[in-house]
Structure 1
Amino acid sequence: MSALSALVDVRPLKDAPFRRLWLGSTGSQLGTQMTATAVMLQLWHDTGSTVWTGAVGIAHVVPLVVVGLLAGSFADRHDRRRIVLAATAAQLVVSAALVAQALAGGIAPGALLVLVFLQTTAGSVGGPARRTFTAALLEPRHVAGGFALMGMSFQLAVLLGPALAGLVAGTWGVAGCYLVDTVSFLGSLYAVWRLPVLRAERTDAPTRGTWATGVHDAVDGLRYVARHPLVRAAFVVDLAATVLAMPVSLFPALNDERFDGAPQTFGLFAAALAGGGIAANVVSGTFTRRGRPGATMLVGAICWGVFLAVAGAVQSGWATLLFLALAGASDTVSVVSRGTLVQTVTPDAYRGRVAAAELAVGAGGPDLGNMRGGVVAGLTSPTAAMVSGGLACVVVVGALATRVRELRSSRVSETAVGSGG
């Protein structure tokens, strides 16, 4: 394998609509990560409780699972561009409300979680439709590269967002973070507004569907996930890595323990995870071209759990950040491989609904995991919560690897990956 073939493919950026979408999404995701960090800081400042910081997960997971699954069916029946425009506009309005409450001196923790719930609901409406844009805009041979770029965009936002949020919050308060997020939605709105009409090509579904039809479609998609052994196993790996081991709600307490609670270092925890992820994305060709997504996913998920357990066990703050970076790299290997596996074995008729399920699990799982981490830390300690979560992930993924042989032996050719979208 040549050095160049190991690097991420940037050819999709030659397509103007995709380039605008990528830039708009990058800016919006950066603002969203700053808001997520600011909410954690505001709750921790007001309550000093890991249970409250972990409760952010509940405010996220309900709309992500319930609304997101129904939105997958909705996106298969209507103009996806208009859906995303409306959803992004709603997110902008809620973001402005976050600015207003911060400037007014803050609101009750429960009320803050309501705003988080509303913003997540709006994002969940547009999420499945937005996920289809890459495959709709790019030629089949560039779709895999487009998804890799979108993944890198997210990782860059996760890397820079919390660090910038720490600096902005330390200078202008959390209101500054919320304001950046509000402005960032304008760029995303412009990029989506410039897109052409992007209606689904489903021929078996009427344009107008009832809620009952949407529920039926969502359930049908979940049945497919449950009965397909490889897809089901991929979802279990995702849930094990997130619900059992996600450490983000522990970062405020770990920052207090290992860096004396400085707001400037708080953002480094999430930045370390994202930094490792970006490093893995930059050299993603080293594992995406292997053609063994199942085995690669398993190795990445096991390493994720091991490195998180070590990060929780060490007492040095800088050593914690190092192992978090290694965990972030492992997570990216697992996530990219899992996406490749699911997309290539799922027939086109189910991809929209399976994508909605992926979004619900991929976003809802971490929120449940953050809630778990906060509760366990409240009952024991942040160290115990992080170590036990990492080890639990290793046990579950290891058991799955021994029971599902086809997961270890599955192969996907580079051509299939590129055309699978």
Structure 2
Amino acid sequence: MSATQEVRPDSRRRVLADLTPLRTSADYRRLWFGNTVTWVGQGMTTLAISLQVYDITRSPFAVGLVGLFTLVPLVVFGLYGGAIADTVDRRRLGLASSTGLAALSVALCVAAFAGFHHVWFLYGIVSLQAVCAALNAPARSSMIPRLLPAEQLRAANALNSMTTTFGTLVGPSLGGVVVGLAGYQTAYLIDAVAFSASLYAMWRLPSMLPERTGSDGAGGADGGARPKRASVLDGLRFLATRPNLRMTFFSDFCAMILAHPRALFPAVAVLWYGGDAKTTGLLVAAPACGALLGGVFSGWQGRIRHHGQAILISVAAWGTAIALFGLTRNLWLGLLLLAAAGYADTVSMIFRNTMLQVAAPDDMRGRLQGVFIVVVVGGPRLGDFLAGSVADLTSPAVAVTGGGLACVLAIGLLTLYGKGFRRYDARHPEP
């Protein structure tokens, strides 16, 4: 069978997500199911904490600080979490960090049952949760290429995108219902119990020491021997000398920093559509719904060989959809454009993550996933700041439409610059 025939999907998989990774690997299947349940539980806890902080303080500013206490540890520990994942047994790191997250949910539950309502306690918990998440994500992501053959990683990343988006959409909604009916302690208890699926999946995995390839300059022909130390700086130096991997981050910056209008949704809801908080909720939900559809209807992506081209086109589509959103004053058309942007973002994310997993050596995957976390977490925050600043100086319409056009222009310049990135072939991956 030729390479072309190997990637040709059947008629059903041309549209819907490819479920092959779930069928062929019991380890991946357990990990995917555990992560799905955990994302829903964590979404419940995230909303419950925000509601509890507001009940204690009656201050929107205090609620906003929850995001700050989450963001800083994720950014600071994201890089170091990747370095640790390139040094120790990733299974043990994933198991330990998941156990930490479960224990923190138990602590929230016990405190709520005991009537211990202090905002400083909640801030401390979310900070520790962020540290555990920063350690867990690089370990979990770098495990997947060891569980599946390279040709199934694109499909696995599409399935993983469905997990995160589904949890982001369903978890907070379910959390609001549970808190309203049974209180904070019940939401925290459900989250703690939900971690059992993830812990079981991690426990069943085989040992996963990083495979030493000498890509960090250590050299050596000892194959699977564990590196003595994985340096964050070595990881950044490696990324600086690998143009295709570096371009995956540059392209994401174009979308997340230049064309990220989320911070303007409350103003847009009122000024453009004469709406209220419900309208803002629709604007927030639309990109997430599009992102979920991007995972569900991802089967066609299996025919794409040139992943770099797919990323560039997807980011340009994101920018175009955001620019058009800035021009429309029809709510339903605006929601449709935001959903299209979310779909394009998921397509870009799937191919970017696949390139990081396939083209990078195993002993660098943790550190690159750490950089990925910092970009994914920090990029949108910079985009919020830029959009808000431009809107204050000009108007929301200029900020949104101008940002979308700037994204398209920037990705066009990257397309001219990154000739090798455009030619990147998934059958012959080059970092």
Query: TM-score interval w.r.t. the shorter chain?
Result: 0.7 to 0.9
1:365 partner letter: G
Question: Are the aligned partners of 1:58 and 1:367 in contact in 2 as well (CA < 8 Å)?
Answer: no
2:205 partner letter: L
Q: Which residue of the other structure, out of 192, 195, 201, is the alignment partner of 1:191?
A: 201
Q: Which residue of the other structure, out of 74, 87, 100, is the alignment partner of 2:97?
A: 87
Q: Does 1:218 align with 2:227?
A: no
Deviation at 1:166, TM superposition (A): 4.7
Deviation at 1:165, TM superposition (A): 3.9
1:394 match: 408
Question: Are the aligned partners of 2:86 and 2:364 in contact in 1 as well (CA < 8 Å)?
Answer: no
- For residues 320-359 of structure 1, what are the alpha-carbon distances to aligned partners after superposition, in whole Å with 9 as ceiling and x for unaligned? 4322211110101111222234444434443332232223
Q: Which residue of the other structure, out of 21, 29, 39, is the alignment partner of 1:12?
A: 21
Q: Which residue of the other structure, out of 134, 137, 141, is the alignment partner of 2:144?
A: 134
Q: Please say which of residues 322-331 and 6-15 is displaced more in the overlay.
A: 6-15
Question: Kindly tell me: are residues 159 and 311 of structure 1, through their superposed partners in 2, closer, same or farther at Cα, counting changes over 3 Å?
Answer: farther
Question: Kindly tell me: are residues 237 and 39 of structure 1, through their superposed partners in 2, closer, same or farther at Cα, counting changes over 3 Å?
Answer: farther
Structure 2 residue matching 1:78: 3-state secondary structure? coil
Question: Are the aligned partners of 2:80 and 2:232 in contact in 1 as well (CA < 8 Å)?
Answer: yes
Question: Are the aligned partners of 1:58 and 1:368 in contact in 2 as well (CA < 8 Å)?
Answer: no
Deviation at 1:259, TM superposition (A): 4.7
Question: Are the aligned partners of 2:112 and 2:184 in contact in 1 as well (CA < 8 Å)?
Answer: yes
Q: Please say which of residues 253-262 and 185-194 is displaced more in the overlay.
A: 253-262
Alignment partners' CA distance in 1, 2:138 and 2:270: 37
Map residues 406-421 of structure 1 onto 2, 5 A cutoff.
406-407=420-421, 409-413=422-426, 415-416=427-428
Question: Kindly tell me: are residues 100 and 241 of structure 1, through their superposed partners in 2, closer, same or farther at Cα, counting changes over 3 Å?
Answer: farther
Question: Are the aligned partners of 2:209 and 2:226 in contact in 1 as well (CA < 8 Å)?
Answer: no
2:36 match: 26
- For residues 265-307 of structure 1, what are the alpha-carbon distances to aligned partners after superposition, in whole Å with 9 as ceiling and x for unaligned? 7654444222212222233232342212222211211222232
Structure 1 vs Structure 2 CA RMSD: 3.7
1:412 partner letter: D
Question: Kindly tell me: are residues 327 and 208 of structure 1, through their superposed partners in 2, closer, same or farther at Cα, counting changes over 3 Å?
Answer: closer
1:202 match: 212
Q: TM-score, normalised by structure 1?
A: 0.81
1:296 match: 310
Deviation at 1:124, TM superposition (A): 0.6
Q: Which residue of the other structure, out of 170, 174, 181, is the alignment partner of 1:164?
A: 174
2:295 partner letter: N
Question: Kindly tell me: are residues 25 and 256 of structure 1, through their superposed partners in 2, closer, same or farther at Cα, counting changes over 3 Å?
Answer: farther
Structure 1 residue matching 2:125: 3-state secondary structure? helix
Question: Are the aligned partners of 2:210 and 2:362 in contact in 1 as well (CA < 8 Å)?
Answer: no
1:13 partner letter: L
Q: TM-score, normalised by structure 2?
A: 0.79
2:276 match: 260
Q: Structure 2: any 5+ residue segments left out of the alignment? A: 1-7, 219-224
1:12 partner letter: P
Q: Does 1:241 align with 2:255?
A: yes
Structure 2 residue matching 1:4: 3-state secondary structure? coil
Question: Kindly tell me: are residues 362 and 76 of structure 1, through their superposed partners in 2, closer, same or farther at Cα, counting changes over 3 Å?
Answer: same
Question: Kindly tell me: are residues 323 and 92 of structure 1, through their superposed partners in 2, closer, same or farther at Cα, counting changes over 3 Å?
Answer: same
Deviation at 1:48, TM superposition (A): 3.9
Alignment partners' CA distance in 2, 1:320 and 1:34: 28
Number of matched residues?
407
Q: Structure 1: any 5+ residue segments left out of the alignment? A: none
1:4 partner letter: R
